[in-house]
Amino acid sequence: MKNYDVLVIGAGPGGSSAARFAAKSGLRTLMIEKRGDIGVPVRCGEGISGELLKEASITPNPNWISAEVEGARIYGPAERKAIHLSSDNAGSEVGFVIERDKFDKELASMAVSEGADVWIRSPAVDTIMEGGRVAGAMVRHNGSVEEVRAKIVIAADGFESEFGRWAGLKSVILARNDIISALEYRMAGVAIDRQFMDFYLGSSAPSGYIWVFPKGEKEANIGIGVPVSRLRSRGDLRERLDSWIQRHPALSAGRAIHIISGGISVSRLPDKIAMPGMLLVGDAARLSDPLTGGGIASACISGKMAAGTSVVASEEGDFSAGSMRRYEENVRERFGGDHHRNWLIKERIAGLSDSAIDSIVESLSDLDPGKPSAETLVNAVRARYPEAMRELDRMM
């Protein structure tokens, strides 16, 4: 049996951030990761905002940055014009395109530098419950199952998170339109504008989008995300993405050197993301942005917050529901408003026709990229394309 102050499950950005800040505050911390190689395989578009990196106390490092962009361009299906947004205004994914494998490893290495213990190839296989609270996990490690006890367990086990459910939290996503199924190629030999991250809306990716994020000089991550409820068949995503790439000669001249697929939650926040002795962070807490699917930054920030709550709870020797609720309140205060608003927008724009999307995009294409307040956007659309606004109003 092993004893720690904090046990972190999962060494993604959320888990490593939690372990880093818990260990930095002097808590005896163990982070376990089921995979044998932290950050691998990469399942991510790898876009992240510089502002949010700062909030997560992560200094951009050329070692894991592939591109820094000036902003985002959002195209309608006709691709005649684009809405331009500066990086500061373009949400959680826009600013840097990173190398997730190196990024995740650096965060884990920061946790180790602060004194955290790390076990790789060591999945949690069950909870240890004691008097209604989480008191640790059973962990497969070096060929046997070990009992690891901890005052607080931080579950950072990602989109497929099971630990919270094992402990009794209802973190399973039920609605099929709240789960995005995504497929992405890393493509070499493409001609791209390295200054922008591009998003393509419309029926090529119904209720979702296609993205082109620059990587190296002639490389890009090109992906598609569509709600599970809109998939026509098993091969649907690949057919849609391949046919879209074929229509873009500057991209179809390239070749895929890596393919990934994965799920992203775009649901509302669950009712509870904390219980006595346990906190959920990142994708396990369903914190990825419902509009964009971006979740690296919220994972890092919530990991840091979970470490903060662990420190206070340890000082007070209180791991009860009341003590854990602080984390829940902090997360809701930081993310809850935007998260709920973006979920509503996601639900409402899902049914817009291609022509309405084109009208909206075209009416916003000449706005100042630095000032796209909600009011400016709505007024611009209403003035120039009242018929598109009527369609939007009807849905609202």
Ligand X SMILES: Cc1cc2nc3c(=O)[nH]c(=O)nc-3n(C[C@H](O)[C@H](O)[C@H](O)COP(=O)(O)OP(=O)(O)OC[C@H]3O[C@@H](n4cnc5c(N)ncnc54)[C@H](O)[C@@H]3O)c2cc1C
| Contact residues: ligand X, CB under 6 A | 9-15, 32-35, 43-48, 92-93, 123-124, 156-159, 182, 184, 223, 260, 262, 264, 282-284, 288, 293-297, 299
Q: For residue 287, give both structure tokens.
A: 């914190």
Q: Give me the phi and psi of 375, to 5 degrees please.
A: -65, -45
CA angle in degrees (0–180, nearest 5) for 304-309-310: 95
Q: Cα separation of 75 and 151, whole Å?
A: 49
Q: How far is the CB of 11 from ligand X (least distance, A)?
A: 5
Q: For residue 157, give both structure tokens.
A: 């086990």
Q: How far is the CB of 353 from ligand X (least distance, A)?
A: 26
Beta strands in the chain (DSSP E): 2-9, 29-32, 47-48, 65-68, 71-75, 82-86, 96-98, 117-119, 124-130, 133-141, 144-155, 179-188, 196-200, 209-214, 219-227, 255-265, 274-275, 278-280
Q: How far is the CB of 338 from ligand X (least distance, A)?
A: 14
CB 307 within 8 A of CB 29: no
In the bound state with ligand X, the residue whose beta carbon lies nearer, of 287 and 311, is 287
Q: Cα separation of 362 and 175, whole Å?
A: 32
In the bound state with ligand X, the residue whose beta carbon lies nearer, of 54 and 80, is 54
Q: How far is the CB of 301 from ligand X (least distance, A)?
A: 11
In the bound state with ligand X, the residue whose beta carbon lies nearer, of 124 and 190, is 124
The residue behind tokens 């069950």 is 126
CA-to-CA dists, residue 171 to 109, 126, 272, 280, 307, angstroms = 29, 16, 8, 9, 21
Q: Cα separation of 164 and 325, whole Å?
A: 15
Q: How far is the CB of 184 from ligand X (least distance, A)?
A: 5
Q: How far is the CB of 9 from ligand X (least distance, A)?
A: 5
Q: How far is the CB of 183 from ligand X (least distance, A)?
A: 7
Q: Cα separation of 255 and 190, whole Å?
A: 8
In the bound state with ligand X, the residue whose beta carbon lies nearer, of 14 and 136, is 14
In the bound state with ligand X, the residue whose beta carbon lies nearer, of 44 and 357, is 44
In the bound state with ligand X, the residue whose beta carbon lies nearer, of 306 and 360, is 306
In the bound state with ligand X, the residue whose beta carbon lies nearer, of 52 and 389, is 52
